[in-house]
Structure 1
Amino acid sequence: MKTGQHPVDCILPKRQMITLGLQHMLVAYIGAIAVPLIVASALKMSPADTTVLISTALFCSGISTVLQTVGVWKFGVRLPILQGVAFSSVGPVIAIGMSPGVGFAGVCGAVIGAGVFTMFAAPLVGRLRRFFPPVVTGCIVTVIGLQLFPVAYQWAGGGEHARQHFGALPFLCIALFVALVILAVNRFANAFLRNLSVLIGLIAGSVLACALGMGDFANVAQAPWFTMPLPFHFGMPVFSVVPVMTMIVVMVVQMVESMGLFVAIGDIVEKKISEEDVVRGLRANGLASAIAGMFAAFPFIAFMENVGLVILTGVRSRWVVAVSGVLMCVVALVPKIGAVVASTPAAALGGAGIAMFGVVVAAGVQTLSKVDFERNRYNVLIVGFTIATALIPVMAPQVFKQMPDWTQPFVHSGVVLACLVSVVLNAVLNGAHEEDVAPAHGMVRE
């Protein structure tokens, strides 16, 4: 490791790179396959086409992650960010795919068109970087953690497939066991094992869950050994005006969310993110989405689950996350491996999720603790109104049910609401300038 390098740019020993990269991939895998599974089910795709959709989503997630972390020319924010399919694209993708005369080829065309639009629009959106001072990024990081808690609780209760057994004592005991293992490793193990605490907790929890009869490996036997994602599997893309414009709206929402995430994650790893960094990151999202459209995949955005892993382990190297992107590509080529990973008991993920998402909230609180609340009473209003508004989609999603359809991508994302409300309030109350506040994240270790 070279001295004088920022921890984000440090290359670790090979063994650490691979094991830490595997840890990131495991955390992100379930989320990475969720969107293609939902879309395939809604569009009534065959099992073979569903397998293709999952493989292409994983493959393009890996490509997008490598592009964002390593960076090529004017593409990539060069932060430890693992990219995954954006959940905000699910509704529009299904609607476009079910449109008569459009079909899934129209989805591919819309994603490509929106990706190209994002690449050209990136410099314009990047100019908004100055509207993200610590009071704004602190709100965004806090909301990221808070809106992920329901996901962790769902896992801890047994997951979506638990049904009438949801919340059963064995599930909760597994989740508690994983959380205790993560705490014990962080308290008593050496530095290397502390960095792998989540992976160790997941493995220990999965072994215990399987011993109690919770393991379900039926999909492993059915999954093929090898598949090759190829472009234009569903035919040549169809470029229709309405589907492309619909996906552009989705990408605008994602650009706002991505910009907030870039600045917030830069704050977490203590690396200043400039306007040019934001522009490179948005360009990479656009290029990755355009490539994904050719491979029958979807728009990509940073996976917030992995932000918690960066904080919990203290490993800030973007090269570790780049390795996880390569592993994503490998798993995409060997569905049998992916099926084994997907068989991780949900309760074990719940214990890990509670630990990771909790430290994200703590990181947001740390950033906010450096904001001047005593001499600037407006900051109290900014934080209060932002968090109260951003949690509406999580705690009471029906509130926005009667809003116009075009607003739904904006009002159903807590992070987007946090960005919009905090930026607007800060600009109105404090002015469009960035406070000179040094971030301090004591949980992030060298």
Structure 2
Amino acid sequence: MDKPVHPVDKVLPARQMITLGLQHMLVAYIGAIAVPLIVASALKMSQADTIVLISTALFCSGIATLMQTVGFWKFGVRLPILQGVAFSSVGPVIAIGTNPQVGFAGVCGAVIGAGVFTMIAAPFVGRLRRFFPPVVTGCIVTVIGLQLFPVAYEWVGGGRTTPHFGAPLFLAVSLIVLITILCINRYGSALMRNLAVLIGLIVGAGLACALGMGDYSGVAHAPWVTVPYPFHFGAPIFSIVPIATMIVVMIVQMVESMGLFLAIGDIVDKHISEADVIKGLRANGLASAIAGMFAAFPFIAFMENVGVVILTGVRSRWVVAVSGILMCVVALVPKVGAVFASTPAAALGGAGLAMFGVVVAAGVQTLSKVDYEHNRYNVLIVGFTLATALIPVMAPAVFKQMPEWTQPFLHSSVVIACIVSVILNGLLNGLKSSVVHAEHVLDDASQRAIDGV
């Protein structure tokens, strides 16, 4: 009898995969182009160079997504993960790029060097996987969702830069998108439920445009075709200080990525082993090294898309792989990308509330399986982790006086959640409990496989 295919590995019909892949890409697009836009503005790049930076970021995001979803040899965690440019890299990239001694070529060299370091360090960091039992991963998933709420609230209000933030029309559009998604999930067919976010976005965008929202002036100025190619800004410059700076960023991302891999594994009900974590970290390193060659930046999983996975119930990694291909294609046609980028923020607001809310719900679901009755320490672990991990979201100025080298760690809620929960679990429950739990997980996974045969 054939072994049943896990939902993560299931290949859907082509038309369905393309539609669902488009849904993932639309959700991620604004975040994918935000970092290159910020960097280009800070470095005072020309319009032509800005378009190149956006195209290379999208193109390399697609490559990184394919590495993680499809995988090859010892690279890729093989989960429904859409990769995008990490916001934690913005500050260091701007700092390196404004250094007259190295310029943007120094950024490229630093990203390549840090990517190679990540590939080398992946096996050592991956060994920490055993210290992530459900009380830890549950905290991480919950924090991931909570830290995204401010983004959704900005969208609901019409976008950070709008002069009429919070106008009733913006709130109305977001509310209609949210109601549309809820109605489709309640009354729609299975196919419609899978496309609930996409349908909600289309309804919201159509309504917003009818009300005069959205600025499509950038579409006319965007070129039809551009071809990303390596070393557009010249040969990379490898300098010790910029590379060391970017390595710190990559260390933060390795900790964060490991937490994300395990959290997403819990969400899609697939056990992620130490070897899987190492493959995922290795792919992050290789994708970053390639990105450095194309004048792009380090990548990390976009949790917005994990919300889409939860909301639609479609766990196939091949759907997200299709979205990676679509990102590569859109990178070659900036005019199409400009249309996506012009989607009114209010239309994204309702979808954001729905997606980020279900991510929090998934974290709460994991935490509900933790034993609090017989182990009072778990209450302390959850309480202390959530209280500290949300500081960067609710009161970022608290860490303003801390040393400069700690800032990348202290401004990531996921990294704080990982570090605090792992340390508290080790101190209160003992390191041995985590190892024993990992063995039980493996036994349970083996038993499920046997039961499925």
Matching of residues 76-225 of structure 1 within 5 Å: 76-163=76-163, 165-225=164-224
Cα shift at 1:162: 1.2
Partner of 1:75: 75
- How far apart, CA to CA, are the structure 2 residues paired with 1:351 and 1:266? 26
- CA deviation profile, 1:186-219 (whole Å, cap 9, x unmatched): 0111001100000000000000011111121101
| 2:27 is aligned with 1:24 | no
Partner of 1:254: 253
- Give the secondary structure class of the aligned counterpart of 2:162: helix
Percent identity for Structure 1 against Structure 2 = 80
Partner of 1:8: 8
| 2:286 is aligned with 1:287 | yes
Matching of residues 35-434 of structure 1 within 5 Å: 35-163=35-163, 165-432=164-431, 433-434=433-434
- CA deviation profile, 1:308-356 (whole Å, cap 9, x unmatched): 1110001000000000000000000000110000111100101000000
- Give the secondary structure class of the aligned counterpart of 1:84: strand
TM-score between both structures, scaled by the size of structure 2: 0.95
- How far apart, CA to CA, are the structure 1 residues paired with 2:161 and 2:263? 34
Aligned length: 437
- How far apart, CA to CA, are the structure 2 residues paired with 1:303 and 1:154? 18
Computed over aligned residues only, the root mean square deviation of the Cα atoms, in angstroms, reads: 1.0
- How far apart, CA to CA, are the structure 2 residues paired with 1:64 and 1:281? 10
- How far apart, CA to CA, are the structure 1 residues paired with 2:430 and 2:328? 45
TM-score between both structures, scaled by the size of structure 1: 0.97
- Give the secondary structure class of the aligned counterpart of 2:386: helix
The amino acid of 1:81's aligned partner reads: I
- How far apart, CA to CA, are the structure 2 residues paired with 1:112 and 1:68? 18
Cα shift at 1:3: 6.7
Cα shift at 1:247: 0.2
- How far apart, CA to CA, are the structure 1 residues paired with 2:256 and 2:237? 28
Cα shift at 1:243: 0.2
- How far apart, CA to CA, are the structure 2 residues paired with 1:16 and 1:374? 45
Cα shift at 1:304: 1.0
Cα shift at 1:417: 0.3
Cα shift at 1:101: 1.1
- Give the secondary structure class of the aligned counterpart of 1:155: helix
Point out the more displaced range, 104-113 or 301-310.
Answer: 301-310
The amino acid of 1:236's aligned partner reads: A
Point out the more displaced range, 394-403 or 428-437.
Answer: 428-437
- How far apart, CA to CA, are the structure 2 residues paired with 1:420 and 1:337? 41
Point out the more displaced range, 34-43 or 154-163.
Answer: 154-163
- How far apart, CA to CA, are the structure 2 residues paired with 1:160 and 1:347? 11
- Give the secondary structure class of the aligned counterpart of 1:162: coil
Cα shift at 1:161: 2.4
Cα shift at 1:430: 0.8
- How far apart, CA to CA, are the structure 1 residues paired with 2:57 and 2:3? 37
- CA deviation profile, 1:34-91 (whole Å, cap 9, x unmatched): 0000000000000000000000000000000001100010000000000000000000
- Give the secondary structure class of the aligned counterpart of 1:301: strand
The amino acid of 2:66's aligned partner reads: V
The amino acid of 2:279's aligned partner reads: R
The amino acid of 1:428's aligned partner reads: L
Partner of 1:444: none
- CA deviation profile, 1:128-170 (whole Å, cap 9, x unmatched): 000000000000000000000000000000002212x100000
- How far apart, CA to CA, are the structure 2 residues paired with 1:109 and 1:97? 11
- How far apart, CA to CA, are the structure 1 residues paired with 2:76 and 2:140? 21
Q: 1:377 to 1:12 in 2, by over 3 A?
A: same
The amino acid of 2:34's aligned partner reads: A
- How far apart, CA to CA, are the structure 2 residues paired with 1:216 and 1:239? 40
The amino acid of 1:160's aligned partner reads: R
Structure 1 residue ranges without an equivalent (≥5): 440-446
- How far apart, CA to CA, are the structure 1 residues paired with 2:21 and 2:429? 41
